[in-house]
Amino acid sequence: MSDNIEGGCRCGAVRYKLNLEKLPNVYACHCLDCQTWSGSAFSLQFFVPEDALEVRGAPYLYERVSDDGERVSRQRGCANCITRVYNTNSRRPGFAVIRAGTLDHSDRLSIVAHIWTKRKLKGIDIPKDVPSWPEGAPTEEFIRIVMG
Ligand SMILES: [Zn+2]
Ligand SMILES: [Zn+2]
């Protein structure tokens, strides 16, 4: 399948293409960091192998070292319209985490997991058949669900 999977920032200065066979599975994170980063109730994101991600334009880079000093998150986005587009993290080399709402066809995505639901806002109900965890999910199970 080569139905182009593309996305980008609000103004179009940063665009990307995903060389994937199918649309990725999306997860929602309700943690405070994600609420602050996104200005919303939760973040929506998905993993892709970094070598499947082709970026056009010149995204800004913001680096943040974790409080314990053990991980570096590298946030990329558009400096013109201030859209966050994706990040990488030294804890997960070779993978990029993309903000799902930046996909052109974000309406075709499915949310397959929710994490950090103990921070979830009232009024957001998670369907019973969608796995969720009060904090982070066990890594192997989570990867199986989101990469499946
Ligand atoms: Zn932009
Ligand atoms: Zn989060």
91 has pLDDT over 50: yes
Q: Percent of the chain having pLDDT more than 90?
A: 95
Distance CA 68, CA 72 (A): 10
**Which pLDDT belongs to residue 148?**
80
42-55: average pLDDT? 96
β partners of residue 60: 77
- Report helix, strand or coil for 100: helix
State the distance from the centre of ligand 1 to the C-alpha of 73, rounded, in angstroms.
21
State the distance from the centre of ligand 2 to the C-alpha of 33, rounded, in angstroms.
5
**Which pLDDT belongs to residue 4?**
83
Relative to the alpha carbon of 85, which ligand is closest?
1
State the distance from the centre of ligand 2 to the C-alpha of 2, rounded, in angstroms.
31
State the distance from the centre of ligand 1 to the C-alpha of 8, rounded, in angstroms.
8
In sequence order, the 6+-apart residues with CB closer than 8 A to the CB of 135 are 115, 116, 118
3 has pLDDT over 70: no
**Which pLDDT belongs to residue 97?**
97
**Which pLDDT belongs to residue 84?**
96
81 has pLDDT over 80: yes
State pLDDT tens for residues 14-32. 999 999 999 999 999 999 9
**Which pLDDT belongs to residue 2?**
46
- For domain 5-147, the question of CATH label 1.20.1630.10 is answered with no
- Report helix, strand or coil for 145: helix
Contact 55, 16 (CB under 8 A): yes
